[in-house]
Protein backbone atom coordinates (compact mmCIF):
# COMPACT_ATOMS: atom_id res chain seq x y z
CA UNK A 1 0.00 0.00 0.00
CA UNK A 2 1.28 3.48 -0.90
CA UNK A 3 2.24 5.67 2.06
CA UNK A 4 0.05 8.33 0.39
CA UNK A 5 -3.03 6.07 0.56
CA UNK A 6 -5.83 7.54 2.68
CA UNK A 7 -8.21 4.56 2.44
CA UNK A 8 -10.21 4.11 5.63
CA UNK A 9 -9.55 7.70 6.79
CA UNK A 10 -12.17 10.36 7.43
CA UNK A 11 -11.30 13.97 6.56
CA UNK A 12 -13.15 17.10 7.65
CA UNK A 13 -12.69 20.00 5.23
CA UNK A 14 -14.16 23.41 6.12
CA UNK A 15 -15.31 25.73 3.33
CA UNK A 16 -15.39 22.76 0.95
CA UNK A 17 -18.13 24.03 -1.36
CA UNK A 18 -15.81 25.98 -3.64
CA UNK A 19 -12.25 27.04 -4.49
CA UNK A 20 -9.34 25.63 -2.53
CA UNK A 21 -11.60 23.73 -0.12
CA UNK A 22 -13.24 21.85 -2.98
CA UNK A 23 -9.83 21.11 -4.52
CA UNK A 24 -8.62 19.68 -1.22
CA UNK A 25 -11.77 17.60 -0.60
CA UNK A 26 -11.63 16.02 -4.06
CA UNK A 27 -7.88 15.33 -3.81
CA UNK A 28 -8.29 13.64 -0.40
CA UNK A 29 -11.17 11.55 -1.80
CA UNK A 30 -9.02 10.56 -4.80
CA UNK A 31 -6.45 9.31 -2.27
CA UNK A 32 -9.17 7.21 -0.60
CA UNK A 33 -10.58 9.32 2.26
CA UNK A 34 -14.24 9.79 3.11
CA UNK A 35 -15.12 13.48 3.43
CA UNK A 36 -17.16 15.64 5.78
CA UNK A 37 -17.71 18.95 3.96
CA UNK A 38 -18.42 21.67 6.52
CA UNK A 39 -19.66 25.15 5.66
CA UNK A 40 -22.45 27.66 5.52
CA UNK A 41 -23.11 26.98 1.80
CA UNK A 42 -23.98 23.34 1.13
CA UNK A 43 -21.20 21.64 -0.83
CA UNK A 44 -23.48 19.74 -3.23
CA UNK A 45 -21.08 20.03 -6.19
CA UNK A 46 -18.18 18.79 -4.05
CA UNK A 47 -20.30 15.90 -2.76
CA UNK A 48 -21.15 14.87 -6.33
CA UNK A 49 -17.44 14.81 -7.23
CA UNK A 50 -16.44 12.91 -4.07
CA UNK A 51 -19.21 10.33 -4.45
CA UNK A 52 -18.29 9.81 -8.12
CA UNK A 53 -14.92 8.62 -6.78
CA UNK A 54 -16.70 5.99 -4.68
CA UNK A 55 -16.12 7.82 -1.39
CA UNK A 56 -18.68 8.99 1.17
CA UNK A 57 -19.39 12.70 1.54
CA UNK A 58 -21.32 14.02 4.54
CA UNK A 59 -22.57 17.60 4.26
CA UNK A 60 -22.55 19.56 7.52
CA UNK A 61 -24.15 23.01 7.67
CA UNK A 62 -22.20 25.33 9.96
CA UNK A 63 -21.48 29.03 10.12
CA UNK A 64 -17.85 29.23 11.22
CA UNK A 65 -17.97 32.88 12.22
CA UNK A 66 -18.35 31.70 15.83
CA UNK A 67 -17.27 28.65 17.83
CA UNK A 68 -20.88 27.64 18.58
CA UNK A 69 -21.01 24.74 16.05
CA UNK A 70 -17.52 23.37 16.74
CA UNK A 71 -18.24 20.56 19.23
CA UNK A 72 -21.29 19.47 17.23
CA UNK A 73 -19.25 19.19 14.03
CA UNK A 74 -16.81 16.69 15.57
CA UNK A 75 -19.53 14.54 17.15
CA UNK A 76 -21.58 14.61 13.93
CA UNK A 77 -18.58 13.46 11.88
CA UNK A 78 -17.69 10.65 14.28
CA UNK A 79 -21.32 9.49 14.50
CA UNK A 80 -21.94 9.57 10.74
CA UNK A 81 -18.57 8.47 9.32
CA UNK A 82 -17.10 6.54 12.25
CA UNK A 83 -13.94 8.57 12.92
CA UNK A 84 -12.11 11.84 12.37
CA UNK A 85 -8.54 11.27 11.17
CA UNK A 86 -7.81 14.47 9.23
CA UNK A 87 -8.92 18.08 9.82
CA UNK A 88 -8.35 20.71 7.13
CA UNK A 89 -9.12 24.23 8.35
CA UNK A 90 -9.68 25.97 5.03
CA UNK A 91 -12.63 28.36 5.55
CA UNK A 92 -11.45 31.94 5.54
CA UNK A 93 -12.44 35.49 4.69
CA UNK A 94 -10.67 38.74 3.81
CA UNK A 95 -11.58 42.42 4.26
CA UNK A 96 -9.74 45.14 2.34
CA UNK A 97 -9.38 48.71 3.68
CA UNK A 98 -6.60 51.14 4.59
CA UNK A 99 -5.36 50.51 8.12
CA UNK A 100 -6.21 54.14 9.03
CA UNK A 101 -9.88 53.44 8.27
CA UNK A 102 -10.16 49.77 9.25
CA UNK A 103 -13.18 49.03 11.47
CA UNK A 104 -13.45 46.90 14.59
CA UNK A 105 -16.23 44.90 12.91
CA UNK A 106 -13.98 43.94 10.00
CA UNK A 107 -11.14 43.15 12.39
CA UNK A 108 -13.31 40.86 14.51
CA UNK A 109 -15.01 39.13 11.57
CA UNK A 110 -11.71 38.09 9.99
CA UNK A 111 -9.97 37.14 13.23
CA UNK A 112 -12.95 35.11 14.43
CA UNK A 113 -13.31 32.97 11.29
CA UNK A 114 -9.65 32.75 10.24
CA UNK A 115 -8.04 32.26 13.66
CA UNK A 116 -10.39 31.80 16.63
CA UNK A 117 -12.70 29.20 15.10
CA UNK A 118 -9.70 27.50 13.47
CA UNK A 119 -8.08 27.09 16.90
CA UNK A 120 -11.18 25.66 18.55
CA UNK A 121 -11.73 23.25 15.65
CA UNK A 122 -8.12 22.07 16.13
CA UNK A 123 -8.84 21.63 19.84
CA UNK A 124 -12.08 19.70 19.32
CA UNK A 125 -10.53 17.42 16.69
CA UNK A 126 -7.39 16.83 18.79
CA UNK A 127 -9.47 15.88 21.84
CA UNK A 128 -11.00 13.14 19.67
CA UNK A 129 -7.67 12.12 18.10
CA UNK A 130 -5.76 11.72 21.37
CA UNK A 131 -8.23 8.97 22.24
CA UNK A 132 -6.75 6.67 19.61
CA UNK A 133 -3.54 8.23 18.24
CA UNK A 134 -0.16 6.54 18.75
CA UNK A 135 -1.97 3.17 18.72
CA UNK A 136 -0.39 0.88 16.12
CA UNK A 137 1.06 3.79 14.19
CA UNK A 138 -2.28 5.52 13.62
CA UNK A 139 -1.89 9.29 13.75
CA UNK A 140 -4.16 12.31 13.56
CA UNK A 141 -3.44 14.99 10.96
CA UNK A 142 -4.36 18.67 11.19
CA UNK A 143 -3.72 21.01 8.26
CA UNK A 144 -4.37 24.73 8.54
CA UNK A 145 -4.63 26.92 5.46
CA UNK A 146 -2.30 29.88 5.93
CA UNK A 147 -1.17 32.33 3.21
CA UNK A 148 1.84 34.10 1.73
CA UNK A 149 0.72 36.80 4.17
CA UNK A 150 1.81 34.47 6.95
CA UNK A 151 5.32 35.52 5.84
CA UNK A 152 4.81 38.93 4.20
CA UNK A 153 3.02 42.13 5.18
CA UNK A 154 0.68 42.79 2.30
CA UNK A 155 -1.25 46.06 2.13
CA UNK A 156 -4.80 47.13 3.12
CA UNK A 157 -5.54 43.73 4.71
CA UNK A 158 -4.48 44.24 8.35
CA UNK A 159 -6.78 41.68 9.98
CA UNK A 160 -6.12 39.10 7.24
CA UNK A 161 -2.33 39.42 7.62
CA UNK A 162 -2.61 39.26 11.40
CA UNK A 163 -4.88 36.23 11.23
CA UNK A 164 -2.70 34.31 8.76
CA UNK A 165 0.50 35.13 10.69
CA UNK A 166 -1.39 33.84 13.69
CA UNK A 167 -2.28 30.64 11.86
CA UNK A 168 1.43 30.01 11.18
CA UNK A 169 2.44 30.62 14.80
CA UNK A 170 -0.43 28.59 16.17
CA UNK A 171 0.39 25.68 13.86
CA UNK A 172 3.92 25.54 15.28
CA UNK A 173 2.69 25.77 18.88
CA UNK A 174 0.14 22.98 18.39
CA UNK A 175 2.76 20.80 16.70
CA UNK A 176 4.99 21.28 19.76
CA UNK A 177 2.19 20.34 22.13
CA UNK A 178 0.58 17.51 20.21
CA UNK A 179 3.46 15.74 18.44
CA UNK A 180 3.98 13.61 21.57
CA UNK A 181 0.24 12.78 21.45
CA UNK A 182 0.49 11.32 17.93
CA UNK A 183 -0.95 14.28 16.02
CA UNK A 184 0.80 16.08 13.15
CA UNK A 185 -0.07 19.78 12.84
CA UNK A 186 1.08 21.57 9.69
CA UNK A 187 -0.06 24.38 7.40
CA UNK A 188 -0.18 25.12 3.70
CA UNK A 189 0.51 28.67 2.52
CA UNK A 190 -1.09 29.05 -0.92
CA UNK A 191 0.22 31.61 -3.37
CA UNK A 192 -2.08 33.21 -5.93
CA UNK A 193 -4.76 30.57 -6.54
CA UNK A 194 -7.56 31.07 -9.07
CA UNK A 195 -10.80 31.03 -7.04
CA UNK A 196 -13.86 33.28 -6.55
CA UNK A 197 -11.84 35.01 -3.83
CA UNK A 198 -9.28 36.25 -6.37
CA UNK A 199 -11.61 36.74 -9.37
CA UNK A 200 -11.35 40.55 -9.22
CA UNK A 201 -7.55 40.37 -9.43
CA UNK A 202 -7.70 37.95 -12.36
CA UNK A 203 -10.16 40.24 -14.16
CA UNK A 204 -8.00 43.35 -13.67
CA UNK A 205 -5.72 43.22 -16.74
CA UNK A 206 -2.87 45.30 -15.28
CA UNK A 207 -2.87 43.60 -11.86
CA UNK A 208 -3.12 40.18 -13.47
CA UNK A 209 -0.09 40.89 -15.70
CA UNK A 210 1.95 42.18 -12.72
CA UNK A 211 1.08 39.08 -10.71
CA UNK A 212 1.99 36.68 -13.51
CA UNK A 213 5.32 38.45 -14.11
CA UNK A 214 6.15 38.08 -10.40
CA UNK A 215 5.35 34.33 -10.17
CA UNK A 216 8.32 32.21 -11.36
CA UNK A 217 5.95 29.50 -12.61
CA UNK A 218 4.21 32.18 -14.69
CA UNK A 219 0.66 31.03 -13.93
CA UNK A 220 -2.04 31.21 -11.29
CA UNK A 221 -2.22 28.21 -9.01
CA UNK A 222 -5.14 25.82 -9.28
CA UNK A 223 -7.04 24.45 -6.24
CA UNK A 224 -5.68 21.02 -7.25
CA UNK A 225 -2.15 22.31 -6.58
CA UNK A 226 -3.18 22.80 -2.96
CA UNK A 227 -4.98 19.44 -2.97
CA UNK A 228 -1.73 17.61 -3.73
CA UNK A 229 0.02 19.23 -0.77
CA UNK A 230 -2.95 18.38 1.46
CA UNK A 231 -2.77 14.71 0.45
CA UNK A 232 0.92 14.61 1.36
CA UNK A 233 0.44 16.27 4.76
CA UNK A 234 -2.56 14.00 5.51
CA UNK A 235 -0.68 10.83 4.69
CA UNK A 236 1.73 8.52 6.51
CA UNK A 237 4.44 9.95 4.22
CA UNK A 238 4.31 13.08 6.39
CA UNK A 239 4.43 11.36 9.80
CA UNK A 240 7.75 13.11 10.61
CA UNK A 241 6.67 16.54 9.33
CA UNK A 242 5.66 18.81 12.22
CA UNK A 243 4.89 22.51 12.52
CA UNK A 244 5.80 23.15 8.88
CA UNK A 245 4.27 25.92 6.78
CA UNK A 246 4.40 24.54 3.23
CA UNK A 247 4.33 27.30 0.61
CA UNK A 248 2.57 26.21 -2.59
CA UNK A 249 3.06 29.40 -4.53
CA UNK A 250 4.73 28.75 -7.89
CA UNK A 251 7.96 30.13 -6.43
CA UNK A 252 6.57 33.51 -5.25
CA UNK A 253 8.42 33.47 -1.93
CA UNK A 254 11.62 32.19 -3.53
CA UNK A 255 11.93 35.37 -5.53
P1 LIG B 1 -13.25 31.26 -1.37
O2 LIG B 1 -13.77 32.60 -1.00
O3 LIG B 1 -13.48 30.75 -2.76
O4 LIG B 1 -13.70 30.17 -0.34
C5 LIG B 1 -13.72 30.44 1.05
C6 LIG B 1 -14.46 29.32 1.74
O7 LIG B 1 -14.58 29.64 3.13
C8 LIG B 1 -15.88 29.17 1.20
O9 LIG B 1 -16.23 27.82 1.20
C10 LIG B 1 -16.67 29.94 2.23
O11 LIG B 1 -18.02 29.57 2.29
C12 LIG B 1 -15.94 29.53 3.49
N13 LIG B 1 -16.32 30.40 4.58
C14 LIG B 1 -16.04 31.70 4.74
N15 LIG B 1 -16.63 32.17 5.86
C16 LIG B 1 -17.30 31.13 6.41
C17 LIG B 1 -18.11 30.98 7.57
N18 LIG B 1 -18.39 31.99 8.39
N19 LIG B 1 -18.64 29.76 7.82
C20 LIG B 1 -18.40 28.72 7.00
N21 LIG B 1 -17.65 28.81 5.88
C22 LIG B 1 -17.10 30.00 5.60
O23 LIG B 1 -11.70 31.35 -1.09
P24 LIG B 1 -10.45 30.44 -1.47
O25 LIG B 1 -10.87 29.10 -1.89
O26 LIG B 1 -9.60 31.26 -2.35
O27 LIG B 1 -9.73 30.41 -0.05
C28 LIG B 1 -9.74 29.29 0.82
C29 LIG B 1 -8.69 29.51 1.89
O30 LIG B 1 -7.42 29.71 1.27
C31 LIG B 1 -8.94 30.74 2.76
O32 LIG B 1 -8.56 30.45 4.09
C33 LIG B 1 -8.01 31.77 2.15
O34 LIG B 1 -7.64 32.77 3.06
C35 LIG B 1 -6.85 30.91 1.75
N36 LIG B 1 -5.98 31.48 0.73
C37 LIG B 1 -6.43 31.69 -0.56
C38 LIG B 1 -5.58 32.22 -1.51
C39 LIG B 1 -5.98 32.43 -2.94
O40 LIG B 1 -5.19 32.97 -3.72
N41 LIG B 1 -7.18 32.04 -3.37
C42 LIG B 1 -4.19 32.59 -1.18
C43 LIG B 1 -3.83 32.33 0.20
C44 LIG B 1 -4.70 31.80 1.11
P45 LIG B 1 -19.14 30.41 1.46
O46 LIG B 1 -19.00 29.99 0.04
O47 LIG B 1 -20.41 30.01 2.10
O48 LIG B 1 -18.80 31.87 1.66
ipTM of the modeled complex: 0.99
Q: Ligand 1 atom 11: the closest Cα is on which residue?
A: 15
Between the CA of 15 and the centroid of ligand 1 the distance, in Å, is 6
Per-residue pLDDT tens digits for 74-108: 999 999 999 999 999 999 999 999 999 999 999 99
Does residue 176 lie in a domain region? yes
What order do you get walking across the sheet with 86-89 strand by strand?
57-61, 34-39, 10-14, 86-89, 140-145, 183-190, 245-248
Does residue 1 lie in a domain region? no
First to last CA, the chain: 38
Residue 23 Cβ contacting ligand 1 at under 6 Å: no
CA dist 245 to 30, 138, 142, Å?
Answer: 23, 22, 12
Does residue 5 lie in a domain region? no
Does residue 184 lie in a domain region? yes
Does residue 22 lie in a domain region? yes
Looking from the CA of residue 198, the nearest atom of ligand 1 is: 41
CATH number at residue 202: 3.40.50.720
Is 160 one of the catalytic residues?
yes
Residue 1: what pLDDT? Answer: 67
Ranges of the chain with pLDDT below 50: none
Containing domain of residue 223, as a range?
A: 10-247
Distance CA(32)–CA(149), nearest Å, equals 32
Per-residue pLDDT tens digits for 132-168: 877 777 899 999 999 999 999 999 999 999 999 999 9
User: What mean pLDDT, rounded, does the chain reach?
Assistant: 97
Does residue 253 lie in a domain region? no
Does residue 60 lie in a domain region? yes
pTM: 0.98
Domain count, the chain: 1
- % residues pLDDT > 70 (the chain): 100
Amino acid sequence: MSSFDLSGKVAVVTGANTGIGQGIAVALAEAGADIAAVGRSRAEDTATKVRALGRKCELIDADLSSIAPVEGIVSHVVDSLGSLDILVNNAGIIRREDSLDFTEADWDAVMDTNLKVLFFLCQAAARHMVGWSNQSGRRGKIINIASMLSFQGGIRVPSYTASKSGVAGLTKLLANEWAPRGINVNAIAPGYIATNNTAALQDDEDRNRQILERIPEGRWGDPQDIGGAAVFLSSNAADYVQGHILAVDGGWLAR
